[in-house]
Structures are given as structure tokens and as C-alpha cells.
Structure 1
Amino acid sequence: MQPEEAFDIAVVGLSARALVTAARRAGLRALALDLFADADTERLAAGSVRLASGRGLTIAADDLFAQLDQHIGPNTPVVLSSGFEHRPRLVERLAGRFPLMGSDARTLRRLKQPRAFAALLGELGIPHPRLFEEEAPPGVPALAKRIGGAGGQHIRPARRVRGRKRYLQERLEGRAVSALFLGDGRSARLIGFSEQWCDPAPHAPFRYGGAAGPIRLDAAMEHAIADAIGRLTRATGLVGLASADLMVNGANWHLIEVNPRPGASLDVFDHPPLPPLLRLHLDACAGRLPPTLDIAPSPRAAGLLYAPAAFTLGDVPLPEWVADRPRPGTPFSPGDPVCTVLADGESAAQARAAVHERAHRLIGQLVPAGGTAT
């Protein structure tokens, strides 16, 4: 069997498990390439490769190309997840070698360069937080963020910021809401809304905690957001699955950022009665959007479980509601992500409460069972 015949698709990211799960549901044989190659990814994928890491939590480009050249042919579609937001040149190189199913480097630059993005939102009349050059005006709360950052760990309250890799954004109050949608470069289809929460740590007060959905907003607000997403899709050429992060406060909403890739929302939305979302992603990349998506899955929540102390995972069975399962013997430092905790409920709020309860119970079992907390 030739390499290009072994896999229908290759999925790449810091963690590829959510995309591999989506590929399995879509009936696709996936090669997963990520930094963890955890037990779930290996079980669900047709092939799993653990990539070498670069500086910090990044994918080493040379190893990525070497592994892709070894395992797939030039006609195998490639789908990217997290880890490429701040690397448009790498995305450009990948698109030059393989059929890249997702937004291109030009779109990434327009959406992930904060000043260009804010200017575009201003031109389109889409409400968004202000950016400040070096210092926030007196009395205006602000946040320092890293360009291309993800997961919330890079965000800090700040009055001023310096350096090319960080920017200063007005801090808005309200509910953190994410809109999952599909784009074909010309128009968009809204899939649904979820609500996000933070899991603060001493040096990361806005660390991503999880998401629960679907939720509903005021009908007029949903229509306005869908319209804004459609106009933004046309302006940037965005294709495939993407998410728009919003801050909602009463009757007001602001668009904070757009992640032009499949992301954490897959865990919340990719189940019946919705069709397989990765199939919809591939169709959208080919210019085909579904006529309507007026259906919603049952409420579900997905939360990240972080290590509260240093420990080593013991040889203990993990519950069926755990995803991103680490292997026995994996060491964790305080603050490391351990796994994803899933829960269903009668409402998004109930599912979220169930995730919190399960996470609390699970970490109480894992730390003493796996080793000595420090």
C-alpha cells in the first residue's frame, strides 16, 4: 500500500485528538500528527505520529515536513488545528506541498494580526474592543495579549505593553461566548453558540477552562452576529470551520477574535443530530455550504483538567467521559493540562456543572493514585 493510499486525511495540531474524533465520526481514515500522541488519538486514528517540539509549545517545522513526506503522498488533504495561528509562513509552505483544507496564510494574517484585524472590523462596522499603542487611557481597563496566542494563558491585565509580539486591548465585561460557523470564502453558515469559562491560575488569570453549549442569545443579536460573520468571511476569504469569540453584555456584543480553524467547539457540537462537522468543513473548503443548519445537538460541556500539583499518572483506568487520555507514567507539573472532561446535561449550564463535579472528583483520585503531590 502506497503512503497516499493509507490515509484519507492528515490532521495536524498541538493536540489532534478532537480532529481525529471528528474524522472517525465522518468515516475518514486519519493520520494524526501532534505533540502528544495520547492514548485516545492513537486508538481513534488510522496512524499516529508524535511530532518534535520547537521552542516552547510549538511544532518543529522540519520534523513536521519530514513526517508528512514519510507518511502521506502529495495528494492527501491536510487539516490544521491549533498551533498555527502565529505561523502564516509555515501555513504557506504547507499549502505549497499538500492540499491544505482550511484558510490560507493571507486570511490568517488578516485575522490574527491585531491591528489589521481591528482596522478591518472598523471598516465593516463590526463592534470590537479598542487597541492602544503603548498605554491605556486613564480609567480604561486593558489586557496585554500575545499576537497569535491561544488558550488564554498569555493574557494579563495591564496598563501598558511593549514589544512586537504583544498588544494592548481594551478589557470588556460580560459573558464569553463563541460562535461556531462555516465559511466558503464568500458567505457563512452559523452552527451555534457556546459559552466559555476561565480556569484561573496564579500567573494566568484568563487560562481557558472549557465550553458548554449550545446556548441561545437574543434573536436580534444572533441575527446581527451571523450577518457580521458573513461580511467578515467575504472580506477575508475564510473557508471551513471557524469560531468567533465574543463578549456579550446585556444588549451589546463585541467581536474579540476569530480562530479560522476547527477547534475546541468540536467536542461540544460534533454529535447528532448535526451531520459530521469535518465533512461539512471539507465541503465548505470546496465551496459548498449546507443550505441551512437549523438543528441543534443536545447540551454538552468539555472542560480542561489542569494538574493542581506535580504528580505522575498511575496505572488506573480513566472514566469513559475522559478524552485526551494520557498514558500511565506520564509526569505532570503544576498547571499542565491533564485531560479533557466531558459531560451531557439537560442544559448547557447543567452540563458545565457536571464537568466541574467530575473534574474535582477525578483529580482527587489521580493525584494520590499517581504519585506524590508537591
Structure 2
Amino acid sequence: MNTPVLIAAVSARSLATAAHKTGLPVYVLDLYDDVDTQRITLASRRVKTESDGFDAVDLLTQAQELCPPHTPLVYGAGFEHCPHLLAQLARGRHLYGNSPDVVQAVKDPRYFFSLLKRLNIPHPETQLEMPDITTNRWLVKTIGGTGGYHVHPLKQSFSIGGQPCYYQRYLEGKPHSVLFLADGKQSRVVGYNEQWINEEFASAPYLYAGAMSVDDMPFQTELTEVVALLVRETGLRGLCGMDILLNATGFHVLEINPRPPSTFELHQQKGDLFYWHLQACDGVLPEILLHPHHLRAKIILYAQRTLKIPAHPEWPAWTADHPRPNSIIQRGEPICTVFAQGKQSQLTVIKREKQLQTCLKRWQEIAV
């Protein structure tokens, strides 16, 4: 397939890079239009934002202007809370991904957690009504939220601002995820990840910080069975993710990401997972998947204070998602992504993050 595709996501660089490695030309719409995205696309544009994601009018208008109206569509994060917008964007296009109806179903807590209960799949106690917080710790989550921005400890004085939300019993444990391919009926587990949380920002205490691929994941047989059950029940297609919590009592399913999760690039070989995402959406799964020889890790570097990117920044080769020169990055916004691989990938990526923080301070001094 050499037909260009349109990629739309909050941040589309990883998908665009994977497509580029397969030799597939792409158009991109996202919220950043990073420099490294621009270099590998036929054309790319930055979409205006609203408080909860895409400015719908701007997204649809720019899609009309950017590429031919029948250009096939691949989407990433950003449509979980607005499947109706996905439906509008996909109108007249071949959709490589789950249908808006499937997205809406798996992100509906009433449906999804009832499904988990019916299938006897372990998960935290979840409800739509305000719980009694005097006896247990609870989290409040915005429906369809992503990136951890939408998760907060539930307190007496907390307000979600009128957004649709649900409540989940807090459990101790470490967040992990399962990456898988599905064709609507069958599934193939691709790999597993340990996920990290950035605790530096009080306004987003569960902010997604990054992840590391793992090769010694416990409960692999059980998790493979859970993925298979959910695919058969929901009709999931393409590259998807399942977030879980691991603790002393076992694993607990938190949610399904019905689109390529950001961790997919920790597992791909020369863009093969983008290719198989397209194939799986059309009903074809691989018999065998090649896996990277090394563990990989990534950390998202967030601005600790307002930062101006220099006119001619020199980014290390182990970074990606480079902001445009002279961009202003506000506190709490992502600056770039830092990568490492090998047995010591976690230590290496943390070391590199610190090196980059030093570089950013030097940039600020020059700007002043």
C-alpha cells in the first residue's frame, strides 16, 4: 500500500514516524506539529485546542484543506471522549481503527465495567454515583480522558468542573499495560509495559510520565485470555492497549485504549506495527511478530516552568517530539520525549532526562 493516509491524534509523531518507516506517505493533524513530524510528512498542521482536546471546527476545516477528502484515516489519542467528532472526520474515508460506536462502548464506564463483572475479569470497584469517601479512598476520572490529566483523588471539596466522570476505588499497585493487535474476533498480544507517573504537578497527580517494555510480565497467560475475551465481546480492531494495575492480589483491569497507545513504539521493528495495525483493521493478523532485541524506555519531559525554545535548538539524537523554534511551553506542558534501550534502559532514560534538564536551563539563561 502506497496510498497516503491522514493521521489525526493529540500527538501524531510516533504514528507518523512508524508510517514513514514503512514507506507510507502521510498527512498529519495534531496539537503540536513538532519539527520532527514536519520532516517526514507530505504536509502537517497544528489544530487549535479546546479545554478538553481538539477544537472540532478547526480539526474538520483543516482536514478538508490538508488532503483529498477520501484520504484514509488513522487516528490516535484524542477521540475517546468525542467519538461523534471521529465519525465526522471519518465520513467518506476508509477508517483504519475502531468505529466510533466501538470507541464509545469501551469508554462508557457503565458498559465496560459491567462487561468486566460479567466476564469475571478482576477490576477495581467502579461506580457512577458519588461514593462515601469517609471509609475508603477513591479516584475520580473524567470519562474518555487520556494521559492521566483526567485522574484525581476524590476529596470532599473536589470538583470535576461539570465533565462526565466516574469513581473508582483506589488500589495500591504499579500501573502496567498490555499491547495487542485484534481483527474484531481474534487477538495477538504484542508486548507488556511498566508505566510511570509524574508526581511533580499537584493539578495532575497521575500524569503519564512514560513507560518501559518488560519481558518478565507476570500473569501472561491470564492476560492473554482477558484480551481475547474482550476482543470477542467488543469487536476491537487494530493496535490497542489495556491498562492494568499489578499488586499483591493479582492484576486489575483499568481501561481499554481502543487505538494505538503511545507505548507501541517501544515494541516495533522498522514500522512493522503500523503495517499490522492497518492489516488488523482489515481483518488480517500476523502469525508471528518480531520483537526488539532490547528493552526500551521513554520518558515525557514536562516543563517545570514557562520555557522558550531557542531559534536553533540542538536536540540530542535520543529525543523526539521537538517543539518548533521560538515556541513557548507553559509549566506542565510536554516539551519532548526521551528514549533509551538496553538492559539498563530505565536508568539510562532517567540519566538522559537529567542531562536534558541541564540543557534546558542553559537555554533559559541564554533567552534571558
Q: Give the TM-score normalised by the residue count of structure 2.
A: 0.92
Does residue 342 (structure 1) correspond to residue 336 (structure 2)? The answer is no
Task: Output aligned runs, 1:156-195, within 5 Å.
Answer: 156-159=152-155, 163=162, 165-195=164-194
Q: Using the alignment, how far apart are the partners of 1:331 and 1:166 within structure 2? A: 31
Q: 1:94-139 CA deviation, whole Å, 9 max, x = no partner?
A: 3332111100111111111112111111112111111132114643
Farther-moved stretch of structure 1 (209-218 vs 78-87):
209-218
Structure 1 residue identity aligned to 2:362 = P
Does residue 370 (structure 1) correspond to residue 361 (structure 2)? The answer is no
Tell me: CA distance 1:172–1:110, structure 2 relative to 1, closer, same or farther (3 Å).
same
CA-atom RMSD, angstroms? 2.2
Q: Is the 8 A contact 1:267 1:302 kept in 2?
A: no
Q: Is the 8 A contact 2:33 2:44 kept in 1?
A: yes
Farther-moved stretch of structure 1 (157-166 vs 103-112):
157-166
Farther-moved stretch of structure 1 (208-217 vs 69-78):
69-78
Structure 1 residue identity aligned to 2:224 = A
Q: Which residue of 2 aligns with 1:107?
A: 102
Farther-moved stretch of structure 1 (253-262 vs 329-338):
329-338
Aligned length in residues: 362
**Structure 1 residue matching 2:54: 3-state secondary structure:** coil
Query: Which of residues 221, 238, 241 in structure 1 aligns to 2:239?
Result: 241
**Structure 1 residue matching 2:53: 3-state secondary structure:** coil
Q: Is the 8 A contact 1:311 1:372 kept in 2?
A: no
User: What stretches of structure 1 of length at least 5 have no aligned partner?
Assistant: none
What's the offset of the Cα at 1:43? 0.9
Q: 1:311-330 CA deviation, whole Å, 9 max, x = no partner?
A: 21123311011100112211
Q: Using the alignment, how far apart are the partners of 1:69 and 1:110 within structure 2? A: 28
Q: Which residue of 2 aligns with 1:61?
A: 56
Q: 1:20-48 CA deviation, whole Å, 9 max, x = no partner?
A: 01101121001111121110100122221
User: What stretches of structure 2 of length at least 5 have no aligned partner?
Assistant: none
What's the offset of the Cα at 1:155? 1.2
Structure 1 residue identity aligned to 2:243 = D
**Structure 2 residue matching 1:98: 3-state secondary structure:** coil
Q: 1:64-98 CA deviation, whole Å, 9 max, x = no partner?
A: 22222233334321001111010011122233321
Q: Which residue of 1 aligns with 2:37?
A: 41
Tell me: CA distance 1:255–1:43, structure 2 relative to 1, closer, same or farther (3 Å).
same
Q: Which residue of 1 aligns with 2:316?
A: 319
Query: Which of residues 281, 284, 292 in structure 2 aligns to 1:285?
Result: 281
Farther-moved stretch of structure 1 (55-64 vs 330-339):
55-64
Does residue 329 (structure 1) correspond to residue 355 (structure 2)? The answer is no
Structure 2 residue identity aligned to 1:325 = H
Structure 2 residue identity aligned to 1:174 = G
Q: Which residue of 2 aligns with 1:128?
A: 123
Q: 1:335-374 CA deviation, whole Å, 9 max, x = no partner?
A: 111000011122xxx2122111111111111123235899
Q: Using the alignment, how far apart are the partners of 2:245 and 2:42 within structure 1? A: 39
Structure 2 residue identity aligned to 1:8 = P
Q: Is the 8 A contact 1:310 1:372 kept in 2?
A: no
What's the offset of the Cα at 1:172? 1.4
Q: Give the TM-score normalised by the residue count of structure 1.
A: 0.91
Task: Output aligned runs, 1:65-104, within 5 Å.
Answer: 65-104=60-99
Q: Using the alignment, how far apart are the partners of 1:45 and 1:7 within structure 2? A: 13
Question: Percentage identity across aligned positions?
Answer: 35
Q: Using the alignment, how far apart are the partners of 2:89 and 2:289 within structure 1? A: 31
Q: Using the alignment, how far apart are the partners of 2:125 and 2:92 within structure 1? A: 38
Q: Is the 8 A contact 1:189 1:292 kept in 2?
A: no
**Structure 2 residue matching 1:97: 3-state secondary structure:** coil
Structure 2 residue identity aligned to 1:205 = P
Q: Using the alignment, how far apart are the partners of 2:365 and 2:7 within structure 1? A: 33
Q: Using the alignment, how far apart are the partners of 1:277 and 1:307 within structure 2? A: 30
Q: Is the 8 A contact 1:240 1:285 kept in 2?
A: yes
Q: Which residue of 1 aligns with 2:142?
A: 146
